[in-house]
Amino acid sequence: MGSFMNPKCKTYNRKKIMIVFIVCFLALAGLAARLVQLMIFESEYYQELAEDLHERERSIKAARGKIVDASGTVLADNRTVCTISVVHSQIEDPERVIEVLSRELGISEETVRERVEKYSSIERIKANVEKETGDRIRAYELAGVKVDEDFKRYYPYGSLASKVLGFTGSDNQGIIGLEVVYDEYLQGIDGTILTETDARGVEIADAGEERVEPVPGNDLYVSLDYNIQLYAQQAALKALEEKQAAYVSILVMNPKNGEIYACVNVPEFDLNDPFTLNTDTDTSGLTTQEKQDLLNQMWRNQSVNDTYEPGSTFKTITAAAALEKGVVSLDDTFNCPGYRIVEDRKIRCHKVGGHGTETFVQAIMNSCNPVFIDIGQRIGVDDFYQYFQQFGLMSKTGIDIPGEASTIMHKKENIGAVELATISFGQSFQITPIQLATTISSIINGGTRVTPHFGVEIRNREGELLKQFRYETKEGIVSEKTSETMRYLLEKVVSEGGGNKAYIEGYRIGGKTATSQTLPRGTNKYISSFVGFAPADDPEVLAMCIIHNPQGVYYGGTIAAPVIRDIFENILPYLGIEKTEG
């Protein structure tokens, strides 16, 4: 009787065994499924992880290509700097490491400690450390501290052509200017240092290091000329200071092929310290976005990124359009009583009392608004708009600087009598300085629209030519006859008219002055400008000066024309343009 088992107990035990069996089966199935997942589907990931435990990789930055000017002067170069890193598993005296790195690198001990104590294969402490500092840290011979040499962008001339050249970020990639436009050519290919380690992350002594050497970037050769840029920048700074202006822009270019010799926009900024404002602005109470907005404004290239009302320099375009259409001749006579009534507007001439009777030649020499209103009416809205398109004013120039602004012009259907009148003498619309300089170049060079540019060619470190840049041109902007007439008229402006302060004995110079009010009107803020070219009969160089909000005397002929004269006096002999006899 004692060995007899209750049938209910048997059933209960059988259930228990079945449950244990099912649980074990499911566990084994789960382990098998996980094993399949690890061995087949995730094998690559874990293989990399395993390799990472036994290999430590450090990058070696490639030297960025140089930017070289027309005379062979290096405008953007590289300096050797260091990257300081730590390997947690190799550090023998963490407190000593923290103390030394904190002091030498100028980083708080708390920040250094956080990285030193972080268990990782390698932890970067600081990049772009000056080589002298890196050498000092290396001399301490601290176990677990790595000092790797790489490169940082360096600009030998500080602020020279800052808004043209641009600069790079901590990753050595271009941020603004030519640095970003030609980044694909200038960037090299980074190298690596590969070190084998044991299971604890300690480097294997006899394994050595495997190095993949970096490939340096290629060099960019540009049309910018250090000497012309430097002199133009000095002239601009002088005008900025003397006239207490907001800023001054100067462009110097070859009107025949579009090569730009100088592009100055003062105040410039320090390319070696591009995140420090060039003003005394107190940024302590500003938000991050407000500070960034101030930096973006500082980095702007006003000659390319900003538009302005050109004023009377635009009369060059109006005159060319009138000559092309055949609605004016040199001996046509006009009458200027000192104003014109256009619909309900009384538009005044700059000369109180007017110029009286004058020919077309005299009108352009005198920069007479009423006469240009008459000429604008003769051209008419439809044809004027068509000439804007023919001259290339309604599209961008295609200059190799990022962020070129477009012309801001009335829609054709919105141009009434008043708008036609104001457009004819360069007001009520806006263009960029580079657009005006390019369009005038096209009008005086025989009628070929050129593409303004800096980039000339790409060469490797050995000087071997890899790529020569080609730029679009368009012929027939104006006829050769119109171009010749415009050169004659603009030479008269300098030799006998309002641009006489740009005259240089022995040189044939053409040009046009302008003085325009900024918007809104009535604030007594002006833009004074002058565009000139030489020799007038066969232009080889065109220069333009724009002075924004000058204090005191603000007439373009009085303050901007002398700036171009001073520049021409220095650069014309330098460019091999000699004085003519008599």
Residues annotated catalytic, as ranges: 312
Cα–Cα nearest to 544, from 177, 316, 263: 263
258 conformational bin, left if phi > 0, alpha if psi -120 to 50, beta if neither = left
Distance CA 149, CA 305 (A): 37
Distance of CA 110 to the CA centre of its chain: 39
CB 60 within 8 A of CB 190: yes
Distance CA 253, CA 274 (A): 26
Task: Give the tokens for residue 516.
Answer: 């325009």
196, β-bridge pairs: 55
Distance CA 215, CA 143 (A): 30
Distance CA 161, CA 234 (A): 12
130, 161, 177 from 157: Cα distances, Å: 19, 9, 16
Dihedral angle sign, alpha carbons of residues 419, 367, 330, 581: negative
Cα–Cα nearest to 545, from 525, 566, 518: 566
Residue with tokens 């480097």: 203
Task: Give the tokens for residue 501.
Answer: 């302060």
Residue type at 133 in one-letter notation: T
